[in-house]
Amino acid sequence: MKSLHHENGQNGLSTPRIIPRDEHPISRQHISDAALKVLYRLDGAGFDAFLVGGCIRDSLLGKMPKDFDVATNATPEQVRELFRNSRLIGRRFRIVHVRFGREIIEVTTFRGKPEGDHADHIARQSDAGLLLRDNVWGSIAEDALRRDFTVNALYYSIADYSLHDFADGVHDIQARKLRLIGDPATRYREDPVRMLRAMRFAAKLDFTLDEATEAPIYELAPLLLQIPPARLFDEVLKLFMAGHGLMTFRLLSHYGLFGMLFPEAEEAMADDAWVEDMVEAALTNTDRRIADGRPVTPAFLLAAFLWAPVASRQAALENDGMPGVPAMQTAAQQVISRQLHHTSIPKRFGMPMRDIWGLQERLAKRQGKRAFQTREHPRFRAAYDLLLLREQAGESPPGLGEWWTAFQSADEHEQRRLLSKVGSDPASQGTRRKRRRRKPRPNAE
Ligand code: ATP
Ligand code: MG
């Protein structure tokens, strides 16, 4: 692509720079058949149809797009009529999903300005500037300005295969910069999740945040506490289950955002140095599994994030005289209920998390038939993985993890030999927590 910079007209960003097909690298070969079908059918019915967002951004960076998003001037109802295989979703932000087998193409209608005298049911903003609903239709130029980052506001036209750049996104892609469109503080107040999106894209794309985009985050981070827990849970999955979890975590921590999602984990990290080591080890582990194409579950990662708060509550309850097992169940219950105020945790993850925690103590008790029973538990593997992380971080003394590593692959004879050693090994005395106070950070934000 040539000539990077583009002078915007008097009216701000509303005139796009149009980059013809022979001056950009995006080819139909890189676009899924499903996305092409949607684009051509909209075009054939007389509507404008563009690919927009992550798929264009990622293609320009030479990455495989994760999915394809379409923007059009057809209303959701008109899109519904064109595709039998489609459904309307969302209230806050109405869009249409068109399904082709396992692939879903997201079709959004151009959004206009939310201000003005529009009726409450199409656009609503709280007193604090939070956008509660955003369903005012508009032009493509208005739509571009409603998007978050300049690099996400590039449109690929199916009519002539040109690229429409409304906000200097091509320039920012080349400069590897994340820049919010418009006034950053206002855009974060409209939708605080944009702060999380900034972290996610910075980690995934290895981009830096533009100064003005970065500056308000430290102060506005607490706005995330207003976001419904279900939406934050979806975002948490995108943050940590996309292969760049460690980097994302470090960015979130740096900007004071991690504590808005997982306050108890954040507090535990401030108290004990091993906690952060363990969280980082869990993320490293998950990132590596994703890179290797192995399966990952959020339950394991969440169990690791919240292990320290669970363990310290359990210890406190035991100090007050409660036996170990109910103390663990109570601690798990309390930590999960507090977490639910911040991010939801669907039952299909909450149940395994409790199992993984509950198994930590059982892993130490191996006498008699216990080792064999624990080995058969459906969550044994995840619990064992968590134990390894705890040992690696220095929370529990080394030895037990190695014992289980040997036990799992041993034949019967060897297993009996391993069991005969259990009484004398220090790991069978239960876990001892190393309370290493965290060193104060040099310039903690
Ligand atoms: P990826 O799909 O790779 O995670 P993406 O940029 O496509 O990244 P999506 O969540 O699929 O992200 O959103 C598609 C597009 O919709 C974005 O590129 C952006 O233009 C716009 N968008 C999404 N969420 C927001 C938001 N919270 N505020 C403003 N615009 C948004
Ligand atoms: Mg997308």
Average pLDDT over residues 267-286: 96
CA separation, residue 207 to residues 68, 151, 176, 203 (Å): 21, 11, 5, 7
171 and 53 in a common domain: yes
Give the sign of the dihedral formed by CA 393, CA 399, CA 400, CA 404: positive
Q: Last residue of some domain: 146, 175, 204?
A: 175
Asked about 69 being catalytic, the answer comes back as yes
Other Cβ atoms less than 10 A from the Cβ of 371: the count is 20
Q: For a pocket test of ligand 1, which of 64, 103, 104, 147 has the largest count of ligand atoms closer than 8 A to its C-beta?
A: 147
267 and 171 in a common domain: no
The residue type found at 437 is: R
Q: What is the pLDDT of residue 4?
A: 41
267 and 169 in a common domain: no
Index of the ligand 1 atom closest to the CA of residue 194: 27
Q: Last residue of some domain: 150, 175, 200?
A: 175
288 and 142 in a common domain: no
pLDDT tens digits for range 99-111: 999 999 999 999 9
Distance CA(36)–CA(56), nearest Å, equals 14
User: CA nearest 41: which of 1, 96, 89?
Assistant: 96
Which ligand minimizes its atom distance to the CA of 35? 2
Q: Where are the alpha helices (DSSP H) in 93-136?
A: none
275 and 168 in a common domain: no
pTM of the model: 0.90
In a domain, 191, yes or no: no
Other Cβ atoms less than 10 A from the Cβ of 226: the count is 11
Give the sign of the dihedral formed by CA 410, CA 414, CA 420, CA 426: negative
Contact (Cβ atoms closer than 8 angstroms) between residue 87 and residue 97: yes
pLDDT band at 132 (very low <50, low <70, confident <90, very high): low
Structure tokens at 73: 């001037």
Residue 301 sits in a domain of what CATH number?
1.10.3090.10
Q: Last residue of some domain: 116, 151, 175?
A: 175
Residues with beta carbon inside 6 Å of ligand 1?
Answer: 53-54, 66-67, 69, 147-148, 152-153, 191, 193-194
Compute the distance from residue 200 Cα to the ligand 1 centre, in Å.
11
422 and 320 in a common domain: yes
Average pLDDT over residues 173-186: 98
In a domain, 69, yes or no: yes
286 and 154 in a common domain: no
303 and 165 in a common domain: no
pLDDT band at 195 (very low <50, low <70, confident <90, very high): very high
22 and 157 in a common domain: yes
Average pLDDT over residues 137-162: 96
In a domain, 221, yes or no: no
Could you tell me the residue range of the domain that residue 164 belongs to?
10-175
In a domain, 277, yes or no: yes
Distance CA(74)–CA(26), nearest Å, equals 24
Q: What is the pLDDT of residue 126?
A: 79
Q: Which of 7-21, 55-69, 335-349 has the lowest mean pLDDT?
A: 7-21
Asked about 67 being catalytic, the answer comes back as yes
Helix (H, G, I), strand (E, B) or coil at 366: coil
pLDDT tens digits for range 360-404: 998 988 887 888 888 889 999 999 999 999 999 999 888 898 888
Residue 142 sits in a domain of what CATH number?
3.30.460.10
In a domain, 141, yes or no: yes
Q: What is the pLDDT of residue 2?
A: 42
In a domain, 357, yes or no: yes
Distance CA(87)–CA(185), nearest Å, equals 34
48 and 159 in a common domain: yes
- Which residue owns the Cα nearest ligand 1 atom 6? 54
- Which residue owns the Cα nearest ligand 1 atom 28? 148
**Domains: count for the chain:** 2
276 and 128 in a common domain: no
In a domain, 224, yes or no: no
In a domain, 235, yes or no: no
| Whether residue 116 has pLDDT greater than 60 | no
Helix (H, G, I), strand (E, B) or coil at 149: strand
164 and 33 in a common domain: yes
